[in-house]
Chain A
Amino acid sequence: MQRIWVVVLSVWAMLAIVAVLAWSSHSPAPLPAASSQTVVVKGPGGKQRVVVLKAPAHATTATSAMARP
């Protein structure tokens, strides 16, 4: 049990460091992943699973390309 807590705390600490580094660099705000969809599925006994699905876009904008054959 203690090991699990150590792992959890380490991950959180690493995330915090990454967040501080990201905040301090003035790069443009990252864009959310294109057309991703998060689905939280509740399993038997109330256990939750998080599934990330790709939601297809209705159209794509790009520099006008040649007609597809």
Chain B
Amino acid sequence: MNGLFRTEWRAVGTTCAATVTAASNGEVDAHAALAAAREEVTACEQELSRFDRASDLSRLNAADGGWTPVGRRLFEVLRLALRAREDTGGRFDPTVLPALAAAGYDRSFELLEERQPRQVEGWRAGAVIELDEQQGRARLEPGAAVDLGGIGKGYAAGRALDAMRATSPRLVGGLVDLGGDIAVFGDSPEGGPWLIAVADPRRSGETLAALNLHDGGIATSGRDARRFGPGRSLHHLIDPETGEPALAGPLTVTVVALDAAAAEVNATTLAIAGLGEAEEHVAARPSISALYVPQAGPAVPIGRLPVAAPRLVVRAA
């Protein structure tokens, strides 16, 4: 018989949780795995946070065009982000930070002050990021800056899951949840897939759907949270084309993908897309599916969304 082991903590600006399914005699393995997940998330935050002045990312952003030695996590996530920018034709862009800061999101969210947004003069997306794998260093074009808000937590969730598996190979299953960016593998403690609820953005505390997942990632992006500026009228989803908070897009969109980083990248991309564009995006990528919640009207499942069917249990009294 399998057991459930779980830990919850605060990191990366949100609430994090790791859960494992382990054999009933696998308590030591389970606790080792949970500790490994926490350590990995801490390590990711130390390299990837733009709010920590000592992080590798902050040093890279401050280098003003100079080569900067970076850790393997930042190097890897920059490579993934560049690939995502290419794959999405620039709809996902990790170099929107100057525009995001100009809009007002220039410090950790809980420290934001209400102030008028300003525009970035001569805004141009797609700033150059160079990677030197041999020497483990990176360089941005002068004036550019990177924000990993659309990929970092998904990447860290995936890394934490890998760390659990590497530490305790006999685990039956595992789940890492970094504020709604979720990575899973294997079986849930009850057996079968993990059951992931999708929060209803219009009704606090309610769920919109439940999704089944054995291996992969789920992430949600939207303009229903993290609002700021005058009257909380602004949101953090920058349209790379305009350099301003996007006008088009859903209230929220949830994406299921092969891993959590891919889920977060695609959720960020679809969060500034109209429904038609979102349907085309998913149709061109068979490995993802989405639940698109428009700003008005019912939620629209796109692609092969693994919606959990209600389970039927027959018990003899």
Q: Chain B contacts of A40 at CB under 8 A?
A: 312-315
B17 in the interface (beta carbon within 8 A)? yes
For the complex, give the distance between the alpha carbons of A21 and B36 in Å. Answer: 54
B14 CB to nearest chain A CB (Å): 5
Q: Chain A contacts of B14 at CB under 8 A?
A: 64-67
For the complex, give the distance between the alpha carbons of A52 and B226 in Å. Answer: 35
Q: Which of A29-69 contact B (CB under 8 A)?
A: 29-44, 52, 55-68
B17 CB to nearest chain A CB (Å): 7
B209 in the interface (beta carbon within 8 A)? yes
Is A61 a contact of B254 with CB atoms below 8 Å?
yes
Q: Which of B156-209 contact A (CB under 8 A)?
A: 175, 177-182, 188, 194-199, 201, 207-209
For the complex, give the distance between the alpha carbons of A35 and B147 in Å. Answer: 35
Is A38 a contact of B313 with CB atoms below 8 Å?
yes
Q: Chain B contacts of A57 at CB under 8 A?
A: 195-197, 207, 210
For the complex, give the distance between the alpha carbons of A30 and B307 in Å. Answer: 11
Is B226 a contact of A31 with CB atoms below 8 Å?
no
B231 in the interface (beta carbon within 8 A)? no
The one of A27, A34, A44, A68 in contact with B210, judged by C-beta atoms closer than 8 angstroms, is A34
Given contacts A29-B301, A35-B308, A42-B317, 19 further A-B contacts (CB under 8 A): A27-B298, A28-B300, A32-B209, A34-B197, A34-B208, A34-B209, A34-B210, A35-B197, A38-B310, A40-B314, A55-B195, A57-B197, A60-B196, A60-B197, A61-B199, A61-B220, A62-B180, A63-B221, A64-B13
